[in-house]
Structure 1
Amino acid sequence: MTSRRSDRPGGRAAFLAAALAFVLIFVAAGTPIPLYNTYRREDGLSTGDLTVATAAYLMAAATSLLVLGRASDHLGRRPVGIAALLSSAAGLVVLLGVDGLAPLVVGRSLQGLATGLSAGALGALAVDSAPPRPRWLPAVVTSAAPMLGIPAGALVSGVLVDTGPAPRHLVYGLVIGLLLLAAVAVARVPETVPHPDPRRLAGSLHPQVRVPDGARRPMLAMSGLILATWSLGGFYQAFGPTIAADQLGSTAASASAAVFGSFTVLSILGGPLSARWSPLTTLRLGAIVYAVCVAGILLALGRGGIGPFLAVSLVTGVVQGAAVSAGMRLLLQATPAADRAGLLATVFLVNYASAALPSLVAGRLTTTFSVERIADGYGVLVVVGVAVAVLASRRR
């Protein structure tokens, strides 16, 4: 019996190369997080400094998406995807020399630029090359890449920092090598933009948010869901080391990585587990269950129970994965192929803005409020986001 081949450009090999490269961008973005406690302990950085670095990464990604989100429509998916991989590698090279806040911000900003470029290039290349079955695969890849890649990078980094030699350099060197190999692999896949025309690039560089007419209502629902999920993801990224130190009594890199990764590492399971349900039902039900799970997270954090906190965080990851992938299915169904890069750039722009802006505010509040009270503020954002998602997804 012969296996069914993809009828998309380049077949399954092209899809696999694009999808792995896309995930690797986020793996690289997760690798510095377990070292935050090291930088705080050895280089004198504060919790506020770490939130500044997190916000710099997120804002660089948002700016890149806003200005360069459609660059691959004119230059081609491959060259822009390769540029994203090289920018990510350059960010890690800068992070090799962290001795204070400035190099950390520069390195994270280069990584933010890379993630912004990758959404409209590698993400669109994966969607363009995806096999026709299973139908949920493109939505899962595009929605779960950051939720899988960032915690996976953080967990691997945490283990290597705690057990390997040269803890401040080993993981960066390994991931730089993987990024360069991924760039070579992407260079070998077929281009999916039929007729790239660099002359039209200048016209697309002005900041813009692009949503096709038929996708505006699903995009509003998706934006509410993104606010609810990505804002809390920014909290875990910025405050994970502090939670590990306060609740676990451990400054080990693997401990902070476990706290951060608990929120998203299982999100990739949500899409396949809910694939038989309609996207609309999954989005609405998933958003409501997600809000309940977040209430459990806040309760566990307030009572100092790290075991229940991690357990509820893992469950929340699966639920948010189901809801977000359902939202992406609705959006991709309503978007023509020519508008995919612009749509994905808009989605990721909302992602990073939803994480960056609360992180900036939270960073200013660290000297006034405890982590538990700041977490309650994030809980309010979750309620607002879930309400928008549920109301906007009501059947007309």
Structure 2
Amino acid sequence: MKILFLHQNFPAQFNHVAKRLAQNPANQVLAIRQYPAIDFEGVGVIAYQLTRGSSPGIDPLMQNYEAKILRAEAVAKTAYLLKDKGFLPDVIVAHPGWGEALLLKDIWPDAKYLGYFEYFYAASGQDFDFDPEFSQCDAESLAKLRLKNIVNLQALNDMDAGISPTRWQRDTYPEWARSKIDVLHEGIDMDYFSPEAGRSISIPEKGLTLTCDDEIITYAARYLEPVRGFHKFMRALPALLTRRPNAHVIIMGSNEGGYGLPAQGYASYEAMMLDELHALLDPQRVHILGRLPKDIYRNVLTLSKVHVYLTYPFLLSWSMLEVMATGTIVVASDTAPVREIIKDGKNGLLFDFFDADAMVDRIDEALTLSNRKANALRKAARKTIEDKYNFEQCLQTLITKIETLAKH
């Protein structure tokens, strides 16, 4: 079987499936990604390069789409080179979000296309109009949002099948398209993200070493930004630190990039929140550690007594599922993507995204549960991941889907 993966930042979501397929000597696995190329065991990775950026003076409504056309053009040139060398894929697995797959259907018309359908944009009921503090519902923003779905719609036409990591994300797509998309998460490695006590983390610049004997509350996001409720969490900290005088708060995440708008007037949302709250936060108890290496991040999760997760109605973070796999109690915002996974009082605790007092109350509740109740929550959280998001189970289901497509 010949398989081609397409993602600007390969391996990204295709890491495990590409690696597993490449281990089979009967398969030939290639990948196309944006420059630079990378070494990836068993997979031939070819990089495309953009020859220019968006046109100066182009209509603002065209900027986003032109960028995707430029990617599509660069990928098409790379695809023609592969075709000229005799590579004819049986299956192409692509994330269509950046426009890279727009022109491939005519290059390899006999290939089967599997799309990773992550998100379909909407003006209401999702992230766009959720938080009044950072709302941009003017005519131009609405128009740009609608035009973001051009490549989504083209992909729905071109792809033979699709996958989406959660039911809520699948259901952001039009009803007529959902039957084409299977709900299939990439899965969580439960051997790696497992409950382990006795670890510690050092914060040398503060002369601190924290262990599982300390009351540690954690927060993690790929980017520290409003989409992940960073501003809400930070504003809850003064009351939380007062309520829990022995608690330490560890915050993990990057200030570079983000899903939403950049901070206005500040280098980052961290800078914005610290400017607003610095006098109310004890630096010996609030530790913003940035984006950590994976092993240290996992270590912190296993030390945590309570992990706080917030999100707009948007893509669900892997981090919430990873935390649940470690058996740490999750206190999370009562938003639609979260409710798909967490049932309040069963495998975690929920609070209103906009209610800081409720957040503090639920964190305090989690920290004062009886051992019996706390252990029940932890076990139920891990069982949820084992039953529905187990890495091996999800991976094998995806491989079977790719093999089935190749046979038809």
Normalising by structure 2, what TM-score? 0.26
Structure showing greater radius of gyration is: 2
User: Which structure dedicates a bigger proportion of its chain to helix?
Assistant: 1
Which protein has greater RCO, CA pairs closer than 8 Å, 6+ apart? 1
